[in-house]
Chain A
């Protein structure tokens, strides 16, 4: 028997799995958060398939997803060749960005950290650009024969670029305040983008144009052939993120406390950074630099769950990242009759006010403690 504050004897609390007295969450957390998020995601996924310049009825989309054959062959082709890969790309890439953002925010204890804000995206962009340019110089005919390998090469070089920036950011992080770190990250990002333009100078005009549209960000460029590389890499990254929830929880308290709790801090830092690189680099290589999703998804997760516990926060950040990516892409390919919206334009229009509101509304955020 244990004693309560008033000295009355109460039942040992250990018998119930869910403790009635204390909660790791502020306020009440409905058991519905994850089902609701799942439903939201499924709805967005189906809408993403149904909406477009050629609308397809939701019923047919669902039947198609369930494996039925559609009467309309054009619809089937559109779904299979264009919209399904695009939706899957948005789903996994959004989840990856959400997870990477959460990892970076906790690791650097910085609410505005994210793959893009810390320059990882820029680094990946530069890595990819160098490989593409090198391909042009060596000869595209040669590369065309090894298309699979060249895709792999682009992903690998994007990872190297992102890892290089991550290493610089991590080295600087020890010595500077959180605000300075963000500025350093942003500058590294701009530096990388500047270098990308320089590199592009040496490529053909056509390739330059392709690259320019790539840097607007889009899930539409991903095709079935890309999945054998993209999906396994991202799944490894997502799995790493889920395996790191306990160390991330300890890192919430700062590195000294984390060490005192028995966390090998250096290893955890390295693994977390590697995880973020593995998530952010392939996304950038295939979809271009994608802004804001990595920053806002973790905050949405915190807002929905009212917790800092990564055991629930991490899956929620993934689901919300995927949901935001799908929703943004949905806006992009609504049947606009005049012109095409860019993904990053949508992200910026949604994301920038979101971040500003976060900064202004949250008392802790103003002092950069979150």
Chain B
């Protein structure tokens, strides 16, 4: 549905041309939910704006349904794609409903009068995002999450083929983020909209996106299903460039601290083991299942609800919390500089 080949993006001013990214090749299919990931400064926003037709590409073209979007009039473009921006829209005395109605802007006549069809679209949009309770409230008085919901409904009411949402989860807490991302994934499938979001939410993107666009710091773009990008090492490489270790096993970051010592851990159930390892790792201790260093490394026994028993050469000590375990370990194995 949306394609671009050999696309160069960036800014052109009278004096010079700044290329942000070169030779991008993109494809976005109908009903797909795509997350654009990448470090700050890689050009995510520039790419989003270029695809939205807000700024022209330096080279190449973005083609939506067979038409170069730069050749469309603003109105034709607004019928095909809608955007939700990071910036807070000033809302004045607009109610949620009035805000969503503005989404019908490209469809209505001179005075913006609404037909039944327009009203249906507005109601559908409000229902799709579950914003019924927000319709009669002033947008200016909504929380960030509620406001994003209304802005999404507005973008939906525009009835576009493609919705572009920039950093939509940036100001939201985790439950709200999950809610919004899940909602977008559902919208893509149910309403046959294509949805492109840019986000820093790696974990959520990996779990929900049909496809990831990974824009690297050097301005190159790799695309694919999240899992494919992990398996072929693209993620590892992208984040390695940033000095971050990507753990392909659970799809998250390692902080890349150097281990100061190893700890042998034993016993406990899977959950206790996992979080114990995590706590040790956070503090620079590598956890090993079976140490074969002749008893030189500390050993930690996991006792379920009874806590932890730590042996650091001398007599074993029992601890109730991981916090205390870590403190004891740090004392026993001070950081070497």
Contact = CB atoms under 8 A, between A and B. Distances in A.
Interface of A: 2-5, 12-15, 19, 21-26, 109, 243, 245-246, 249-250, 252-254, 256-257, 259-264, 302, 306-309, 311, 364, 369-370
B228 interface: no
Interface stretch (B60-68, B122-130, B233-241): B122-130
B75 A262 contact: yes
B105 interface: yes
B101 interface: yes
B90 A5 contact: no
Contacts of B82: 260
A263 B74 contact: yes
B250 interface: no
A354 to B, nearest CB: 18
B257 interface: no
B255 interface: no
Given A23-B135, A25-B95, 11 more contacts: A2-B124, A19-B119, A21-B136, A24-B95, A243-B110, A245-B112, A250-B105, A262-B77, A262-B105, A308-B94, A369-B90
B222 interface: no
A187 B107 CA distance: 42
B111 A245 contact: yes
Contact of B78 (A15, A261, A306): A261
Contacts of A249: 102, 105, 112
B91 A264 contact: no
Contacts of A14: 116-117, 119-120, 123
B244 interface: no
Nearest to A19: B119
Contacts of B78: 260-262
Contacts of A13: 119-120, 123
Interface string B89-121: 111111111100111011010111100110110
A253 B92 CA distance: 9
A256 B87 contact: yes
A264 B74 contact: yes
B204 interface: no
20 contacts: A2-B123, A5-B133, A14-B119, A22-B136, A26-B93, A246-B112, A250-B105, A252-B91, A253-B102, A254-B89, A256-B54, A256-B87, A257-B83, A259-B74, A260-B83, A261-B78, A262-B76, A311-B112, A311-B113, A364-B140
Contacts of B140: 364, 369
Contact of A261 (B54, B103, B132): B103
Contacts of A15: 116
Nearest to A310: B112
A262 B79 contact: yes
A245 B83 CA distance: 22
Contacts of B73: 262, 264
| Secondary structure call for the A interface | loop
Contacts of B135: 21-23
Contacts of A3: 127
Nearest to A12: B120
B198 to A, nearest CB: 15
B138 interface: yes
B93 A307 contact: yes
B28 interface: no
Interface residues of B, number: 49
B188 interface: no
Contacts of A252: 89-92, 94, 102
Interface of B: 52, 54, 73-79, 82-83, 85, 87, 89-98, 101-103, 105-106, 108, 110-113, 116-117, 119-120, 123-124, 126-127, 130, 132-133, 135-136, 138, 140, 158
A304 to B, nearest CB: 11
A5 B120 contact: no
A256 B90 contact: no
Top 8 A-B pairs, shortest CB-CB distance = A262-B78, A22-B97, A308-B92, A262-B106, A24-B98, A246-B112, A262-B75, A22-B135
B105 A5 contact: no
A23 B105 contact: no
Contacts of B91: 252-253, 308
B138 A26 contact: yes
A254 B112 contact: no
Residue from the set A24, A243, A254 with the largest chain B CB neighbour count within 10 Å: A24
Contact of A256 (B77, B85, B93): B85
Contacts of A4: 127, 132
Find the residue from B101, B119, B120 having the highest chain A CB count within 10 A.
Answer: B119
Given A3-B127, A23-B136, A246-B108, A257 B95 contact: no
A14 B116 CA distance: 5
Nearest to A27: B136
A253 B83 CA distance: 12
A30 B78 CA distance: 34
B227 to A, nearest CB: 33
A5 B74 contact: no
Which one of B79, B95, B126 has the highest number of Cβ atoms from chain A below 10 Å of its Cβ? B95
Contact of B92 (A256, A261, A264, A370): A370
Contacts of B96: 22
A23 B101 CA distance: 10
A15 B138 CA distance: 25
Nearest to A248: B112
A12 B96 CA distance: 20
A261 B160 CA distance: 11
Contacts of A5: 127, 130, 132-133
Contacts of B101: 24
A108 to B, nearest CB: 11
B130 to A, nearest CB: 7
A24 B82 CA distance: 22
Contact of A262 (B54, B74, B94): B74
A263 B103 CA distance: 12
A311 B126 CA distance: 22
Nearest to A109: B90
Contacts of A26: 93, 95, 136, 138
B135 to A, nearest CB: 4
Contact of A23 (B85, B97, B112, B119): B97
A19 B90 CA distance: 25
A179 B299 CA distance: 65
